[in-house]
Amino acid sequence: MTNCKLLIAGLGGQGVVFLSRLISQAALLAGDNFITYESHGMAMRGGSVTSQVKIGNYRSPLVGLDSADMLLVLAAGEYERNRHFLRPGGTCLANSDQPLADLPQENLVGATAIAVNHNLPKAVNLVFSGWAAQHPAFPYSFELMQEAVKMMAVSPTIETANLKALELGRQMAK
Amino acid sequence: MQQVMLGNEAMARGLLENGCTFTYAYPGTPSSEILPAFIKQGRDHGITIHGHWSVNEKIALESAFTAAMTGMRSAAVMKQVGLNVAADAFLSSAYLGVTGSLVVISADDPGPNSSQTEQDSRMFAMLAKVAVFDPATPQEASIFAGRALDLSEELGLPVMLRPTATLCHARQNINLAKITKQLRQPEFIRQPQRWAATPKHRFRLHQQLNQKLLELAADPRFDFATQVESGSSSPAPYGIIASGCAWALTADLLNSLPDDETSQFSLYKVDLPYPLHKNAGRELLKRHEKLLVIEESMPVIEYQMGDQKKICGRLDGTIPDAGALTPEIIVSALNRFVKQKPLSANPNSIEAPPGKRPSLCPGCPHRSSFYALKKALPKGIYAGDIGCYTLGINLGALDTCLCMGASISQAGSFYQTFVKDGEDSPPIAAIIGDSTFYHSGIPALINARYEDSRFVLLLLDNSTTAMTGNQPTPAAGLQADGSRGPALELETLLKGCGIEKITIVDPYQQSELIDTIKEAWQYAQAPEGGIAVVIARRGCLMIPAERNLLPALQVTILDDDCTGCGYCLKAFECPALMLKTDDPENRVTIDQITCVGCGQCLDICPHGAIKIRTLT
C-alpha cells in the first residue's frame, strides 16, 4: 500500500487538475485508497491553481505545510508560493528551462519547449508526468501512468496524443 | 466495485442509488457538477430521471419541493449564496413538509474561493428548522445523500445535505451500489390546509415541526458521544467535537501526531449538526474537562452545546472566525486549547507570495466589451454583477459587485441618487451576463424601467453560464440533458420589460461597439429616452465550436515600436500579453501558446506596435 502526499502547482489551463486525476486513476488501478482536492471556479481563469493528492488511508484531501512528500511544479513561478508545503527530505520536481531557486538541475525539466516543439502545446502536463514518473520518489510507474492515460482518454485521437506526450517525457529522463 | 469520483459526483450517485429521480439546480461553485453527474449516471443506467437547470435557486427549490409533494424523491442543488435566493421557499417548505423526500444540497465555500460570503448553510438550516447532515468525505457524502433522502421521507420534512468546497472538489475512490429503476408513481393528495396553509394552520404546522425536531434530537442514530473515531478511546482529558470536512482534517492531523500527543484527545464526530443530539452534548460535558468544537464555517454545534464555560471554539476565539480551516489553524487551535506543551506539528501559517490573479481568457469577448465601455464612457460608473465578467475589475471597467442581478438595481439607484439631488447624472452603465440576467436581472430591469431610471445596460451575451462550466441558459433552448427545448429570445424579453432601445453588436467589432455605447448613453439622457440596452453578443470561447470561429490571426509585437509603456498590460490584460523576460526596457511580447489569434489587441497599442505577423 502506497502512502504519499503530493502537491501539484501551476496556472489555470495548464492541466494541473488533469494531472491529479491521472495520478488518482493510477492509484485506483494500483488498488490504493486516495483523496485529492483541486481548485475550481474563479481560480481557474488563468490564476494560480494547486491540486493536492493524498494516497493512503486519509480522510481529508488537504496537505499541510512541511508535510508533502512530493511537490510537482508545472509553472516555475508557482514554486515560491508552494515550496513550504514540502516536508524536509521531500522531493520537488519542476517544469523549468531555467535554474530554479535551490533545486538541483536533475529535478528540473523543460517540458514546455518539448511539448511545443512536438506541436502538443496543451500536453505540457503529460510530458512533465512522463518525465516525473521515472523519479524514484514518484508514487507510480510509467507503465501504470500509461494505463491511466488510456483509461481517461475521451477519444482515440486524444489517447494517441497524450501517450505520445507521456513518452516524450520519459525520453527526457534518459 | 470502485470508481474515481468527485465529491459532487459521489453525491449525485448517492441520490440515484436511493431512488431520487428529480433534481433541480442552478449552477454555482462549488456545487455545479452535481446535476450533470446526476443526469449522466442516470442515463448510463437507463433509468428515467428529471434533471433541470432552473433559472434560479428559488425556482429550483420550489420545483423539487413540488415533486416531493407528490410522493417522489427529489433534490434541490445550489451553492450557499444561492440558498439566500431560495430562502423564501426553503423556510416555508419546513412547515409544510413533504410526502416523498426533499433533500436540499447547499454547498458552502469557506475561504471564500469563489463566493461573496463565507456563510454556513447549516446556520440557515437552523433558522429554517431543517435537519442538516454534514458529510466529511466524498464517500460519506454519497452515503449521507441516501440517509438524507430516507430521513426526509421518514419525518415528512425537507432535509439538508451540506458539503463544503473541500468535499465537493475532492476526488476519492468510491464504492458503488446498484442504481435501480424506480416504480413510484406521483400522486397529489389534496390537503389545502397543509399545502396552502393560512397563518392559523401555519401555527399548528410550526408546533408539529418543533415536536419532530425534539424527537430527532433524542434519536440514538445521531448520538455522537459514542462515535470516537480517532485519538484515545478511553476518555482522554480533552474532548474534540467536529463535523464534516473539519472533522476529516482533525482526524488526519491527530493520526499524524506521535501517540503521546494523540492520546490526550478523544475526537467525536457529529453527522447531524442540527438538531444536535441533546444527551450526547450533556454526556460529553460530564466526560471531559474541556471540549473544543471544530466546524466550518460558523459555530452551529457550538451554539447548541450548553455550559459555554467548558467549550472552546469560534465563540471564544480558539478558532478564527473567518477563513477556511487548514491543518496549521487546527494545530494552533489545539495548542491554544491544551495550553501545555505545544504539539510537534507546524502551527505557523505562512504568508505565501500572492499568486497570479485570475483574468478573462485570451480572446474572451467580455474583454473587448469592457475595453469599449471604458472608451465610450470614460468617466462612467460601472455597476457590475456576478460571473466571469466580474473580472472586468482587472480592466478598471467594473466598480460594484453586490449579488446576482444587483448591477441593474444599482445602476437605477445610482441614477436616482444623482438626479434626486438635482445633479446631472454621470454616465452610468450596468454590466450583466445573460445567465445572471435570467437569474435575477429581469425583476430589477422591470423595476428600473418603472422608476424611469436612465442608464446603459451592457448585456454580455455569450449564450452560456461560463464561470461555472458552460451550463445552458434559456436563450440556448438546450436542456440540462442536452435535449432541445423552447428557446427564449433575449430581445423579446427585454421588450417585455419595457425597453425600447435595444442594439445588438458583436464585441469583436470594437469601434462599432464604442459608438453604440456612446449613442446608448445619449438616448438614456434624452428627455424622451429610457434605458438603452446594448447586447454584446459573441459566444464563450470555452465552447469548442466558438473557438473554431476565431480568425486565427498571427499577432506579434514589434520590438522597435514597443516603448515599454505597459498600457496594453493594464488596459487590456490579456493573458497572452506578457513582459519580455529580462528586458531592461520592459517591452511586451505575445505568448504564442496562450494567444488564440482573435486580433482584438491590434488597435489598442498607442504606439501601433501590435501587428499581424507577416512571413519574411
pLDDT tens digits, one per residue of A105-161: 999 999 999 999 999 988 999 999 999 999 999 999 999 999 999 999 999 999 999
The residue type at A56: G
Is B176 part of any domain? yes
* A40 CB within 8 Å of a chain B CB: yes
Question: What was the pLDDT predicted at B422?
Answer: 82
Residues B130 and B274 in one domain: no
Give tens-digit pLDDT for B464-481.
999 888 899 998 889 999
Question: What was the pLDDT predicted at B232?
Answer: 56
CA distances from residue B529 to A58, B285, B455, B516, B526 in whole angstroms, order as listed:
63, 68, 10, 15, 5
**H-state helical runs in B169-218:** 192-195, 199-216
CA B360/CA B393 separation, integer angstroms: 10
Q: Are B125 and B160 in contact (CB under 8 A)?
A: yes
Nearest chain B residue to A113 by CA distance is B593
Residues B164 and B205 in one domain: yes
Nearest chain A residue to B357 by CA distance is A47
Residues B167 and B315 in one domain: no
Residues B231 and B200 in one domain: no
- Residue of B2, B4, B328, B569 for testing the chain A interface, max A β-carbons within 10 Å: B4
Give tens-digit pLDDT for A12-42.
888 899 999 999 999 999 999 999 998 765 5
Would the pLDDT of B42 be above 60?
A: yes
Residues B373 and B516 in one domain: yes
Sequence spans of domains, chain A: 4-110+137-152
Residue given cell 531592461 in the structure block? B584
Residues B326 and B401 in one domain: no
Q: What share of chain A is helix, strand, coil (3-state, %, to 5)?
A: 45, 20, 30
| Dihedral of alpha carbons B122, B124, B125, B126, sign | positive
Q: What share of chain B is helix, strand, coil (3-state, %, to 5)?
A: 40, 20, 45
**H-state helical runs in chain A:** 16-30, 79-82, 111-117, 124-132, 142-152, 156-172
Residues B372 and B306 in one domain: no
For residue B567, the enclosing domain spans: 550-616
Closest CA to A134 of A170, A105, A103: A170
Measured in degrees and rounded to the nearest 5, phi and psi for residue A3 equal: -135, 110
Contacts B593 to A, Cβ<8 Å: 112, 116, 121
CA B268/CA B270 separation, integer angstroms: 7
Q: Are B39 and B49 in contact (CB under 8 A)?
A: yes
Structurally, chain B folds into a number of domains equal to 4
Would the pLDDT of B237 be above 70?
A: yes
Cβ atoms < 10 Å from Cβ of B236: 19
Is B545 part of any domain? no
Residues B146 and B295 in one domain: no
Q: For the residues of B136-168, what is the DSSP string, one character each? A: SSHHHHHHHHHHHHHHHHHHTS-EEE--BHHHH
Q: What is the mean pLDDT of chain B?
A: 94
Write out the three cell numbers for B37: 453527474
Question: What was the pLDDT predicted at B584?
Answer: 94
Q: Which of A20, A59, A84 sits opposite B137 (nearest CB)?
A: A59
Nearest chain B residue to A152 by CA distance is B4
Question: What was the pLDDT predicted at B616?
Answer: 52
- Residue B234 CB partners (closer than 8 Å, separation 6+): none
Question: What was the pLDDT predicted at A42?
Answer: 53
In the CATH hierarchy, which fold is given to the domain comprising A4-110+137-152? Pyruvate-ferredoxin Oxidoreductase; domain 3 (3.40.920)
Is B242 part of any domain? yes
Give tens-digit pLDDT for B540-574.
999 999 999 999 899 999 999 999 999 999 999 99
Percent of chain B having pLDDT more than 90? 88
CA B391/CA B366 separation, integer angstroms: 9
Question: What was the pLDDT predicted at A4?
Answer: 97
Taking only Cα atoms into account, the Rg of chain B, rounded to an integer number of angstroms, comes to 27
Among the candidates B303, B338, B373, a domain finishes at: B338
Contact A82 B3 (CB under 8 A): no
Residues B115 and B231 in one domain: no
Residues B124 and B166 in one domain: yes
Is B543 part of any domain? no
Is B360 part of any domain? no
* A82 CB within 8 Å of a chain B CB: yes
Contacts A78 to B, Cβ<8 Å: 355
Q: How far is B30 from chain A (nearest CA, A)?
A: 7
Would the pLDDT of A44 be above 60?
A: no
CA B105/CA A28 separation, integer angstroms: 28
Contact B173 A64 (CB under 8 A): no
Is B182 part of any domain? yes
Compute the count of residue pairs across chains A and B with CB atoms less than 8 Å apart: 136
Residues B91 and B194 in one domain: yes
Q: What mean pLDDT is predicted for residues A58-68?
A: 95
Taking only Cα atoms into account, the Rg of chain A, rounded to an integer number of angstroms, comes to 15
* A125 CB within 8 Å of a chain B CB: no
Would the pLDDT of B231 be above 60?
A: no
Predicted ipTM? 0.91
CA B567/CA B579 separation, integer angstroms: 12
Residues B183 and B204 in one domain: yes
Among the candidates B338, B354, B383, a domain finishes at: B338
Q: For the residues of A128-139, what is the DSSP string, one character each? A: HHHHHTTSTTSS
Give tens-digit pLDDT for B138-183.
999 999 999 999 999 999 999 999 999 999 999 999 999 999 888 8
